[in-house]
Amino acid sequence: MDKYLLVILVFMVVTVPIAFVEPATGQFRDPPLIPLFYAAISGIIIILVYTSYKDRKNHQKSNAKRKSRR
């Protein structure tokens, strides 16, 4: 995983509890910020899918290069 994607992933993971807890007081939010929660979850999923897709393509490329040498 690239460094910048890892940083964004960490921010997304930290955002999930912020949707339910007020950072200044530590109290639970009466109406939780559901759009913020779903945005963080979808961002995490997108980053994980993109990273796995990118790794799979690199693996296929390295396999093709290795097989073409013979």
Domain count, the chain: 1
pLDDT digits (tens, 9 = 90+) for 8-45: 999 999 999 999 999 899 899 999 999 999 999 999 99
- Residue 57: domain span: 3-68
pTM, 2 dp: 0.81
pLDDT at 48 over 90: yes
Count Cα atoms within 13 angstroms, Cβ side, for 55.
Answer: 8
**End-to-end alpha carbon distance in the chain:** 30
